[in-house]
Amino acid sequence: MTVAQPAVRSETVATASPPLIAPHRLALFLDLDGTLAPIMPRPDDVGPDPRRARLLARLIAVLDGRLAVVSGRSLPDLDHILGGGVRAIAAVHGLVRRTADGQLVDREPHPGLEEARRILGELADCERGLLFEDKGLSIALHYRNAPACAEAVNEAAERLSQATGLVLQQGDMVAELRTPGADKGAAVRAFLRETPFTNATPIFVGDDLTDEDGFTAADRLGGFGVLVGPARPTAARYRLSDHEAVFRWLDGLRIPMEASA
């Protein structure tokens, strides 16, 4: 079985809020669910939000385009939720990536997905609270609305990972089986090799275990990670309490720019 193992500083618990940094050479990498949007009972409950759209548009302008959304969602889903306002996106945990100039970097789905899709789909049909999600390069089974099913879902996902070679990506009340390949850290590194991100200082903001690879990449490349949510062992240096705190911090990034103008 292949299980995604994010790099976590096991003895570090981020507590301090991140500093306000002048945007001159800053690059922002932002998760969506739990970071730019609240965690909802169903993924489809998250939709376009004018406030978020305005904030992201301003940040993209202030940063000269050095902003990317890095999420586990599919690319079409992200384009819908973000209203098409963000060009640079890494979707499906980094397996699909659209560059700032619109080029698509994709890969073929793993053949084991067909069997996993059938089995997890049947499991979802047996329990009303389970939610099956198909992202093309991965499939996920959410048990947020059926927490009693957690053990059964994770056991089934582990068996399928062993049998097929799919990577088991465990998240917040979800088990996901995905095509092997890039993770969120690899997406950050790839963006930083491209215009307009080159030579920028990366900051990665996210809430889930899947974001730990992004935190680690940002830290190793001279920046830092920001954990959103309750304190826990993490590779992030700083922490914000929830998506509203993220909005307030991001909105404050205008202050150093305006002060130096």
User: Annotated active-site positions, please?
Assistant: 31
Name which of 5, 16, 69, 57 is nearest 224 in CA terms: 16
Cβ contact 240:18 at 8 Å: yes
Name which of 64, 69, 27 is nearest 52 in CA terms: 69
Q: Residue 80 is which amino acid? A: H
> Maximum CA pair distance of the chain?
60
Distances (CA, A) of 155 to 162, 179, 196: 11, 19, 43
CB neighbourhood size of 11 (10 A) = 6
Q: At what angle do helices 150-164 and 113-126 cross, to 10 degrees?
A: 160
Spatial distance between the Cα atoms of 35 and 37, rounded to a whole number of angstroms: 5
DSSP 40-75: -SSGGG----HHHHHHHHHHHHHTTT-EEEE-SS-H
Residues in contact with 26: Cβ distance below 8 Å, sequence separation at least 6, in sequence order? 63, 66, 200, 201, 203, 253
Cβ contact 145:131 at 8 Å: yes
